[in-house]
Structure 1
Amino acid sequence: MDRQEQLRAAATFIEQEGAAVARVAAQVDESLLGVADLIREAGGKVIVTGSGTSGTIARRLAHLLSVTGTPALYQNPGDGLHGSLGVATAGDVVIAISKGGESSELAEFIQRTTDRGAKGVVITASPESSLAKAADVVVVVDSDSADPGGIIAMGSTLATAAWGDALAILLMNEGGYTWEKVLHSHPGGAVGKNADELLKSVDG
């Protein structure tokens, strides 16, 4: 494969990943509203968890929920089973992300945090999985065809991230979390330095 063929192959792969993310729009259903309702009604914080690449997406979701006005944190499930699942209390919502839904540490994490009074949400491509059966709410996000060999979690995690972004924005809008509040919590970097100008652009 020459260099031009390599570039074409790379561009095709990116297009496939973009299509995987776009397919999530057709999968949006009442479960999105159900998770938003659960978070609002519970009244506590959101704990997002996942292993491997899903853990990276879970960490991202926790950050963006906090940015948009829903207090959230990431909890490594392995660490959770060594004592730190004590972070979960009644009124909290635990969101576990797992494509295959057969990560034993996640299933136990969900089970034990719900024993402590938290509500459990699972985002997965496998609604019949062990993890899904342990949840109060199951969200199906299936973009498996974008993962090389059906093994390397690339496009599927981008698709899950897009679903999480939609949840964060929905909660922000429905909760009346203003751009002023977003900018107040983000004084660092270019966003903080240009807060006045940014506020004018979003309000305009």
Structure 2
Amino acid sequence: MQAEHEWANRAKQVIRADAAAVLGVLDGVDATFLAVAKKLTECTGKVLVTGSGTSGAIASRAAHLLSVGGTPAFYLPPADGLHGGLGVLQADDVVLALSKGGGSEELNDFCNRAKTLCAGVISITADPTSPLALMSDHVIRLVLPADSDLGAVVATGSSLATAALTDALVEVCRVARGYGWDKLLFTHPSGAVGRDAEESLKRLQGSGG
């Protein structure tokens, strides 16, 4: 029982750290965030979202949600990009790179080359002096509590904080692009979302959301 009590306390400690990390990014909604939202809203091409490791998982999620919200986006791992995938980039595309430390050589090589092929590189990182940040046109800084991540090694809270920032970009860009709930629900006809689309649309239009 003692061990189970310790496990419960450890679990709650992790959840509190995660919550604090997510709430901490409220301060990241600043002039730079708004400039990035404007850049993504005005992008006439696609948003290529990239990242390595856990950041890659969050990047894949962000690309999907941006597209759901009417901002055309796709995910490309930097390793695939360096094996020829960079050829997908066009002059009117934008790269959104996610990296807590900003020091991944693979990601930075990808972004350095991408800069010459597209309309700009945006990064979300906790280190504004990192190579990734220094090469980026816009940097949204992650300000994280000291105990955000497990052992300051495993990207737990920091990845959730990054996800929260990209979620915020999804919604701001959706509204700025005039991508109404009717359009969103039309392009999401499957699953529970599609099943309840008519009811959801009535609720959302009634609330002015």
Q: Distance in 1 between matches of 2:114 and 2:6?
A: 50
Deviations 1:65-84 (A, max 9, x none): 00000000000100100101
Q: CA deviation at 1:135?
A: 1.0
2:42 matched to 1:80? no
- After TM superposition, the structure 1 = structure 2 runs for residues 43-62 of structure 1, keeping only pairs within 5 Å, are 43-62=44-63
Question: SS where residue 123 of structure 1 aligns?
Answer: strand
Q: Report how far residue 54 of structure 1 moved.
A: 0.2
2:122–2:138 CA contact under 8 A, matched in 1? yes
The count of corresponding residues between Structure 1 and Structure 2 is: 204
- Matches for 1:95-106 after TM superposition, within 5 Å: 95-106=96-107
**Quick one: higher RCO (CA 8 Å, sep 6+), 1 or 2?**
2
- Structure 1 distance, partners of 2:195, 2:100, is 39
Paired AA for residue 172 in structure 1 = R
Deviation at 1:108, TM superposition (A): 1.3
Tell me the TM-score normalized by structure 2: 0.94
Equivalent-residue separation in structure 1 for 2:41 and 2:3 (angstroms): 54
The match for 1:180 among 170, 179, 182 is 182
Return the alpha-carbon distance in structure 2 between the equivalents of residues 29 and 15 of structure 1.
25
Q: Which range moved further: 155-164 or 30-39? A: 30-39
- Letter matched to residue 174 of structure 2: M
Which residue of structure 1 lines up, in the alignment, with residue 204 of structure 2?
Answer: 202
Partner of 1:145, secondary structure, is coil
8 Å contact 1:78–1:105 — kept in the other structure? yes
SS in structure 1 at match of 2:70: coil
Alpha-carbon distance in structure 2 between the residues aligned to 1:96 and 1:47: 8
Is the partner of 1:181 in helix, strand or coil?
A: helix
- Displacement of 1:154 in angstroms is 0.4
Following superposition of structure 1 onto structure 2, how do residues 31-70 of structure 1 map, counting pairs within 5 Å? 31-70=32-71
**Matches of 2:80 and 2:137 in 1, distance apart?**
23
Q: SS of the residue aligned with 2:147?
A: helix
Residue number among 147, 155, 180 corresponding to 1:145 in the alignment: 147
C-alpha deviation, 1:27, in angstroms: 2.5
Give ranges in structure 1 of 5+ residues lacking alignment.
none
Letter in 2 for 1:39: L
Tell whether the 8 Å contact from 1:94 to 1:119 is kept in structure 2 after alignment: yes
- For the 8 Å contact 1:89–1:113, the answer to whether it is kept is no
The Cα of 1:117 is off from its aligned counterpart by: 2.9
**Counterpart Cα distance in 2 of 1:40 and 1:18:** 29
CA distance in 1, matches of 2:88, 2:147: 36
Q: What's the CA shift for 1:139?
A: 1.1
Q: Answer whether contact 1:142 1:156 (CA < 8 A) is retained.
A: no
- The percent identity for this pair of structures is 49
The AA in structure 1 aligned to 2:164 is: A
Give CA-to-partner distance per residue, 1:81-129, whole Å, 9 cap, x none: 0101111111111001011101111111111111113310011001100
Task: Say whether the 8 Å CA contact 2:91–2:117 is kept in structure 1.
Answer: yes
TM-score (norm 1): 0.96
Q: Which amino acid aligns with 2:151?
A: G
Name the residue aligned to 2:92.
91
